[in-house]
């Protein structure tokens, strides 16, 4: 069993990275699953241009960038964890949003009918996902759509999102590093996620 954990934070060693580490290292890995952490900021990911060449080519032939290094990792993982800091109520645009949009090419299977039914490479594979977010504000309204912005595309792609973990009240880069309770919550969520894969 393998879990890939993906952080969309541009800030290396910040709150999102720290929570991902807890989810993977103290969490999923301690249940015996293989884990890999990926920082989207380390990959060049061009935003989708809607050229639709992928409908024919079944992968992105518009850009040969970091996504082509990530596609095989995503395909081989039994579980995927996505995490993003909240940026103006939403996910980070050059990292997490571009990444999610670029899952469209190889994975969706469309019919010729528009609007019409669609499926995905992951439909019926039983893949599971967990999404988490970090925000400064503690009122849910100020967290905005960050969880939904990751959860809904994953569900459309055929993943079952078994858990969500919004972490609120963290602004400074190392705020979460000083909060052992939220890190333990993340470790427990990671363990639960791994047990759900087996």
Ligand X SMILES: Cc1cc2nc3c(=O)[nH]c(=O)nc-3n(C[C@H](O)[C@H](O)[C@H](O)COP(=O)(O)O)c2cc1C
Summarize as ranges the residues that interact with ligand X (CB under 6 A): 9, 11, 14-16, 85-89, 134-137, 142-144, 170-171, 173
Residue with smallest beta-carbon separation from ligand X: 14
Angle at 137 between CA 135 and CA 138, to 5 degrees: 100
Residue 152's closest CA among 168, 131, 167? 131
Nearer to ligand X by Cβ, of 40 and 60: the residue is: 40
Burial class (CB in 10 A: 0-12, 13-18, 19+), 2: middle
d(CA 73, CA 77): 6
Nearer to ligand X by Cβ, of 78 and 136: the residue is: 136
Residue 8 CB, shortest distance to ligand X, in Å, is 9
Residue 163 CB, shortest distance to ligand X, in Å, is 19
Nearer to ligand X by Cβ, of 3 and 20: the residue is: 20
Residue 14 CB, shortest distance to ligand X, in Å, is 2
Nearer to ligand X by Cβ, of 64 and 171: the residue is: 171
**Centroid of chain to Cα 43:** 14
Residue 171 CB, shortest distance to ligand X, in Å, is 4
Query: H-type helices in the chain, by residue range?
Result: 15-21, 54-57, 67-76, 98-101, 104-107, 140-143, 146-156, 180-197
Nearer to ligand X by Cβ, of 84 and 120: the residue is: 84
Nearer to ligand X by Cβ, of 75 and 179: the residue is: 179
- CB atoms inside a 10 Å sphere around CB 82: 28
Residue 174 CB, shortest distance to ligand X, in Å, is 8
Q: How far is CA 85 from CA 42, 47, 72, in A?
A: 16, 19, 25
Residue 181 CB, shortest distance to ligand X, in Å, is 16
């Amino acid at each position: 069993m393998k879990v890939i954990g993906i952080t969309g934070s541009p800030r290396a060693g910040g709150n999102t990275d720290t929570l991902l580490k807890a989810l993977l290292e103290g969490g999923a890995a301690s249940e015996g699953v293989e884990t890999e952490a990926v920082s989207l900021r380390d990959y060049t990911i061009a935003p989708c241009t809607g050229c639709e060449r992928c409908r024919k080519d079944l992968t992105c032939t518009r850009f040969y960038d970091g996504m082509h290094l990530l596609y095989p990792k995503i395909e081989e993982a039994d579980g995927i964890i996505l995490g993003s800091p909240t940026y103006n109520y939403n996910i980070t645009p050059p990292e997490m949003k571009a990444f999610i949009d670029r899952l469209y090419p190889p994975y969706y299977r469309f019919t010729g009918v528009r609007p019409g039914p669609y499926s995905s490479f992951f439909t019926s594979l039983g893949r599971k996902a967990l999404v988490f977010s970090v925000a400064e504000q503690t009122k849910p309204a100020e967290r905005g759509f960050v969880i939904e912005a990751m959860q809904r595309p994953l569900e459309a792609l055929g993943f079952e999102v078994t858990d969500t973990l919004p972490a609120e009240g963290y602004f400074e880069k190392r705020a979460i590093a000083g909060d052992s309770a939220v890190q333990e919550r993340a470790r427990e969520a990671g363990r639960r996620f791994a047990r759900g894969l087996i």
